[in-house]
Amino acid sequence: MSMNPKDEKIKSEKYKRVGAKYVCKQCKKQFFTKEDAEACFDSH
């Protein structure tokens, strides 16, 4: 598993990347961490 962020090409159904942020696909809230965005998505 690489620590290089450029290698992160895994598409998620829960969030999308916008610049350096993760955006919840349900409510479009922006988060700085993937875990926060996934938790937000799961809460809907």
Query: Which tokens in the block code for residue 34?
Result: 């993937």
According to the model, what pLDDT value does residue 1 have? 44
Domain ranges of the chain: 13-42
Q: The pTM is what?
A: 0.70
According to the model, what pLDDT value does residue 12 have? 76
According to the model, what pLDDT value does residue 5 have? 55
Tens of pLDDT along 1-41? 455 555 555 567 899 999 999 999 999 999 999 999 999 99
DSSP secondary structure letters along 1-44:
----GGG-----SSEEEETTEEEETTT--EESSHHHHHHHHHT-
